[in-house]
Amino acid sequence: ETGVTQTPRHLVMGMTNKKSLKCEQHLGHNAMYWYKQSAKKPLELMFVYNFKEQTENNSVPSRFSPECPNSSHLFLHLHTLQPEDSALYLCASSQVREAQTDTQYFGPGTRLTVL
Amino acid sequence: GENVEQHPSTLSVQEGDSAVIKCTYSDSASNYFPWYKQELGKRPQLIIDIRSNVGEKKDQRIAVTLNKTAKHFSLHITETQPEDSAVYFCAVSGYSTLTFGKGTMLLVSP
């Protein structure tokens, strides 16, 4: 599938490193999302971008910094992470219309390990 | 905010049996209810969804029912097969964001 792609697929980093996750959607959608998926936890919404504007930040620590340069690309910049930040980070996109939610399509995720 | 409860957390069935997973939600304004299937090591993928103006929707062996009054909706899988084994997530949305349930691990034994 090529609808939503993410790179890298796997990332191991130390607590003092700085890295970035990249997401690209090829579906012509106007909204993009970052989720965190940990073992035995539901999908946790981190950030939402609607028409390139951040509309939601669910109390995410500042060591996670999102960037959305255009409606097709989304980044998650990481710095000074903690071991508990190790998880699968999923990107998703959808088409948001007035008063109507459409399906969110997920990327394959980045498996992040913080040592 | 929206609160979504999903039950059961694990479900084991024999091949050919039916499986039912139920979710309840709190916000009566919610109007979109998708179900996702996530196989081990793969991304969540939409398998069926329903909007608040419909009470039931079916796609081959999969169906979803919605009771807006009681604020619950259910996923029904008939004639289960081993390849149905996965984690299933329900989700609820009022506008652009989805709130997910904690997931149900379905195990289908041959």
pLDDT at B1: 76
Cis-peptide into A69, omega within 30 deg: no
The model's confidence at residue A52, banded by pLDDT at 50, 70 and 90, is low
Q: In the predicted model, what is the mean pLDDT of residues A16-34?
A: 94
pLDDT at A99: 61
CB–CB contacts below 8 A, A to B: 49
Cα nearest neighbour of B52 on chain A? A100
Taking only the tens of pLDDT, chain B with its 110 residues reads: 788 999 999 999 999 999 999 999 999 989 899 999 999 989 999 999 998 888 999 999 999 999 999 999 999 999 999 999 999 999 998 776 889 999 999 999 99
Per the CB < 8 A criterion, the answer to whether A22 and A3 are in contact is: no
Contacts of B96 in chain A (CB under 8 A): 31, 48, 50, 55, 94, 96, 101
Nearest CB to A48 within list B89, B97, B99:
B97
Classify burial at A20, counting beta carbons within 10 Å of its beta carbon; exposed 0-12, middle 13-18, buried 19 or more. Answer: middle
The model's confidence at residue A6, banded by pLDDT at 50, 70 and 90, is very high
Distance CA A11, CA A67 (A): 19
Can you say how many angstroms the Cα of residue A111 is from the centroid of all Cα atoms in its chain? 12
Cα nearest neighbour of A95 on chain B? B96
Residue A1 has pLDDT above 60, yes or no: no
Note the pLDDT tens digit of each residue in A55-108: 667 789 999 999 999 989 999 999 999 999 999 999 999 988 776 677 899 999
Distance from CA of A59 to the nearest CA of B (A): 14
Distance CA A47, CA A77 (A): 12
pLDDT at B97: 82
Q: Tokens 């691990």 map to which residue?
A: B105
Helix, strand, coil % in chain A, rounded to nearest 5? 5, 55, 40
Mean pLDDT score of chain A: 90
